[in-house]
Amino acid sequence: MRSYRTRNGSLEGRAGSGTYVAEPRQRVRVVRSSAREQPEGSPFRADMKAVGRQGDWESRTDAKVPAPAGIAARLGIDEGDLCVRTAYEFLADGKPVQLSASWEPYDLTAGTLVVLPEGGPHAGAGVVNRMAAIGITVSHAVEQPEPRQATAEEASLLGIQKAALVTHIRRTYYSDQGRPVETADIVVPAAHCEIVYEIPINR
């Protein structure tokens, strides 16, 4: 499928079928900021509400998943050590606008009420608040954004063309002791979202 921009949207050429006008889609603003960590509520839902959309997400968690080499390096653990992996699909008015795959060391949360990010009494509370519930203070996060092309799987989940441009953000949360407590790969489609970094200034 090929896509071409027009004044009112885009034309999609489908092999053996013809050319169609794709419905214009307003880009969603995604704000990245430590100031948006909230005791209650979701920053993503707040972002969607600000542009008049309903924000929600779907998730799937797998416990005791062996850490691949790259994830292990980011978490400061050995390759093959067990992790809790959660895959997220973030939705705006029911349409996917962002993907995320989160990894947490299993030995950090095993036997606690927060072992499942989307289960138990702290479901959906976010990494900072969940870790605080078991006595771990998250002091900061590091994000590394880079542009690349979407994989076939990502394109299918996001409803975009294969190899369309996305921003891949590698994010890692650290405790005040310097230990990585969670790392995630966040994928944001360039055609559907604009990423804004908000930097708090302490005076």
**In 3D, which of 129, 104, 79 has the Cα closest to residue 181?**
104
Backbone angles phi, psi at 132, to 5 degrees: -60, -30
Q: pTM higher than 0.85, yes or no?
A: no
Q: Between these two residues, 32 and 183, which has the higher pLDDT value?
A: 183
How confident is the model at residue 182, as a pLDDT?
A: 98
75: helix, coil or strand?
helix
φ/ψ of residue 102, rounded to 5: -105, 140
* pLDDT tier, 192 (very low <50, low <70, confident <90, very high otherwise): confident
Q: Look at residue 5 and tell me whether its pLDDT is greater than 90.
A: no
The end-to-end CA distance of the chain, in Å, is 52
The pLDDT of 75-98, averaged and rounded, is 95
CA dist list (Å): 178 to 109, 137, 169, 173: 17, 10, 20, 9
